[in-house]
Amino acid sequence: MSGSVEAVKAPEMGGNAGMSSEYLEVRGLSVSFDGFKAVDNVDLTLLQGDLRFLIGPNGAGKTTLVDAITGLVPATGSATKSGVELIGKKVHHIARLGVGRTFQTASVFEDLSVLQNLDIAAGAGRSALTLLRRRKDVLPQIEEALETIGLTRQRDTPAGILAHGQKQWLEIGMLLVQNADVLLLDEPVAGMSLEEREETGNLLRRIGGERTVVVVEHDMDFMRAFATSVTVLAAGKVLSEGTVAQVQADPKVQAVYLGTGHVDGTAVASAHDAKEA
């Protein structure tokens, strides 16, 4: 991915992140496939206000870790949200606890309008019969989400004809109207233009103050511009954790990405193009 994202310097780790007790705590989390440990005894502590980036080489276990937290794959160990255990719960139960996620390809109803997509998401707890009836009035949280994600003018536009970046923003909006306060986003800027990437980063900052946002990412320019903290995974384990500056200076991270040398923009950019299954 060419170019770089210009943005205000990311705040130091522990800025907004210290404003609340633990939102998401992961302890000894492991995921195995036929004897292979894709995630190996991972510990993470995520706080309200944290914009945490998960980075690492292809196959490091980033997406699998998110899958485990959201109930998509079986796991051992513990993942608690505000003290409530998530491991072992069904996907929809975890979603109702306020843990939402996106995928690399936006999952929206392309034949429906932006407004209808948000209305369906907001009615996740409604009966099938009431979901078929369009509300007479737009709910306040939907109006707020439209403004937050920057799609107010596109409210009646079919989701299928939105630009790539706008579809990702809509999917984030669908999590917001479900009152998700832990958002796990899988490569949200993949395939975006430079302008879309910057707008996405600013969106994550807007929604992150009262929430916990975790971003699985390969784009190092985007990470440097917007992360408040970074966790580096390698071979399913946590290799390093800290601010962007701390992680970039860690010799273990330099060795994983480069063999030797510094984790600078040019060098890391050559490593982030590989996509994780």
Q: Do 234 and 256 touch, CB atoms closer than 8 A? A: yes
Architecture of domain 1-89+215-277: 3-Layer(aba) Sandwich (3.40)
Closest CA to 88 of 97, 42, 213, 238: 97
Q: 247-261: per-residue pLDDT in tens?
A: 999 999 988 875 543
Q: 107-130: per-residue pLDDT in tens?
A: 899 999 999 999 999 985 554 445
> Chain-centre distance of CA 103, in angstroms?
9
Token pair 């580096």 in the structure block, residue: 232
Give the pLDDT band of residue 90 (cuts 50, 70, 90).
very high
Element (H, E) at 54: strand 51-55
Q: Do 27 and 41 touch, CB atoms closer than 8 A? A: no
Q: Give the mean pLDDT of 197-216.
A: 95
Closest CA to 134 of 109, 108, 150, 115: 115
Q: 188-205: per-residue pLDDT in tens?
A: 999 999 999 999 999 999
Global pTM reads 0.82
